Amino acid sequence: MLNFQDTIFALSQFWAKQGCVIALPYDLEVGAGTMCPETFFRVLGPNPCSVAYVQPSRRPADGRYGENPNRLLKHTQFQVILKPPPKDVQDVYLKSLESLGIKLSEHDIRFEEDNWEAPTLGAWGIGWQVMLDGLEITQFTYFQQSGGIDLEPISVELTYGLERIAGFLQNVDDVFEVLWNKSVKYGALRREEEFELSVYDFEAADAEACRKLLDTYEAEALRLLSMRVAPAFRPASGGPHEAGRSQNAGMPAADRFPLRKVYEFALKCSHLFNILDARGAISVTERVALIARIRRIACESARIYAARQAAQPEVQPA
C-alpha cells in the first residue's frame, strides 16, 4: 500500500522515466498546477516540453476549516505536460496508474467528457475526467489555448488529484486519515493549516486590504508592461553586483524585460480575487471586470513570451 509521499515518488519516477523534467512546486499561491509558468508559458510556441511536478493548489472557496473529510482549501496536484503528446498517450497514462499498484484488470476506468476553462488565464482545453470505479482521479486535457493564444503543437495536460488517489489506494474515507508516510497522517500535517486558512479567507480577511493589494499588484504589472518598449531599467553602474551585471548590460532592452515577474503579479491578483470571492466581497459588476483585468495581464505575458519564442527558439537539451 502506497502512502502519500510514496504516491508522489512513484508518479515522479514513472514520468521521469518517460523523459519528463521533474520540476519543483511553484513558490506562489496558485489555484491549479496549470497556472504555474512551467505550464502556462511552456505550452506556448514550437519547442517540445516534457515536465512533471507536484503543485499544492489553493481554492479559498473550497475551504471547510478542516472539518469536511472530502474537501480541502489547499489540495495537491501532480501535473504533467507532454508536448507533443505521444500517440499512445492514453496508454502511457494508464501505465502510470499501474505504477501506483492499481491493477487495471480489477477496476473500471472511464474517460468521461470534461472540458476545462480558466477565464483569468485565457486558457481552455478539451478532454476527460478519468474515473476509477466512480472516483475522479485525473483531469486529462488536450490544451487548445493558453493566454488567449492558439496552441501548436498541442500539449496534453494530466492533473492527478493526489489526495483522492491516496485515499483510494489506502481505502480511507477521510482525507485527514490518509497516511503521509508510515506513521504520520495527512491531518497531523495539514489540518491546522486548513483551519487557519479557512478562518482567514472566510472571516478575518479585510476585503479592503485585499482589494488594495490586488490594485497594487496589478499596477506594478501594468507599470512593467508600459515600459516594455523602452525599458527605463538599466544595471546601476558601480553597484555591488556590477561584475555580474556588466555581462548582460549590452543586451537589447526588450530581452531584459522581466516577463515572469509580470506574470507572477497576475498570479497574485488571481489569488486575491479568489479570496475576495470566497469572502463574498465581489460585487455584481465587479466580477466580470476583475476577471478581465487579470486576464489582460496574463494574455499580455503570453504574447510577449510567444514573440520571444518566435524570434529566438530555445535550444532544447537532448
Partner 1 sequence: MSPASQETLPLLLEIGCEEMPARFLAEAQKQLGDQLRAYLRANRLLENPNALLETYSTPRRLVAYLPQVAARQPDKVEDVMGPPVKAAFDAEGKYTRAAEAFAAKHGAEVSALKRVTTPKGEYLALETREHGQPAAEVLSRLLDVLLWNMSFPKSIHWGKPDGAKFSFLRPIRWIVALLGEGKSAEVIPFNVAGVPAGHKTFGHRLAGRNAIAVSGFADLERNLRAAKVEINSEARREMIREASKVLLEGSESLVEDAELETWHVNSTEWPSAIAGAFDHSFLELPREILITVMRGHQKYFAVEDSAARLRPRFMAILNRADDPKGLIRAGHERVLRARFSDARFFWDTDQKIPLRDRLPLLEKVTYHEKLGSYADKVRRMEAIAGEICRVLRDQGKMTLVDETSAKRAVQLCKCDLTTQMVQEFPELQGVVGGLYATAQGEPPEVADAIYDHYLPQGAEDRCPRTTIGAVVSLADKFDSVAEGFRAGLAPTGSSDPFGLRRAGNGVIKIAIEALPGFDVLAFAERTVEGSRGPVAQGDPVGTLCSFLRERTEFYLRTSGGLRGDTVRAIVHSFKSWSPPSDALLRGKQLEPFVTTDAFQALAVAAKRTRNILSKSATQADRGDRYGIEEHLLSAGPERDMFEAYLKLKGQLEDFAGRGMYAEAFKQVAQVRPVVDRFFDKVMVMDENLDLRANRLRLLDHLNALVFLRFADLSQIESSGSTVGAPTSEEK
Encoded one letter per residue, x for contact with partner 1 by CB under 8 A and - for no contact, window 286-315 reads: -xx---------------------------
Grid coordinates representing 287?
A: 466580477
What phi and psi, each to the nearest 5 degrees, are found at residue 97? -70, -40
The answer to whether 125 and 157 are in contact (CB under 8 A) is yes
Q: Which one among 18, 68, 216, 309 touches partner 1, defined by CB under 8 A?
A: 68
Q: Which one among 5, 25, 74, 84 touches partner 1, defined by CB under 8 A?
A: 84
d(CA 166, CA 178): 7
d(CA 206, CA 264): 22
Helix axes 4-17, 89-98, angle to 10 degrees: 140
177 is a contact residue toward partner 1 (CB under 8 A): no
Q: Which one among 5, 18, 90, 216 touches partner 1, defined by CB under 8 A?
A: 90
Nearest distance from residue 91's CB to partner 1, in Å? 6
Q: Which one among 25, 71, 200, 211 touches partner 1, defined by CB under 8 A?
A: 71
Nearest distance from residue 107's CB to partner 1, in Å? 6
**Of 99-138, which residues contact partner 1 (CB under 8 A)?**
104-113, 115, 126, 128, 132-135
The answer to whether 185 and 163 are in contact (CB under 8 A) is no
Nearest distance from residue 85's CB to partner 1, in Å? 8
In 3D space, the residue among 189, 161, 158 whose CA is nearest the CA of residue 176 turns out to be: 189
**230 contacts: CB under 8 Å, gap ≥ 6:** 253
Give the binding-site size for partner 1 (rule: CB under 8 A).
Answer: 46
Q: Which one among 183, 247, 285, 312 touches partner 1, defined by CB under 8 A?
A: 285
| Residue nearer to partner 1 on the CB measure, 51 or 262 | 51
d(CA 306, CA 50): 18
Q: Which one among 116, 168, 202, 257 touches partner 1, defined by CB under 8 A?
A: 168
Query: Which amino acid, 311?
Result: A
The answer to whether 83 and 43 are in contact (CB under 8 A) is yes
DSSP secondary-structure letter at 179?
B
Q: Tell me which residues touch partner 1 (CB under 8 A).
A: 64, 67-71, 84-85, 87-88, 90-91, 94, 104-113, 115, 126, 128, 132-135, 142, 144, 152-154, 168, 171, 173, 280-285, 287-288
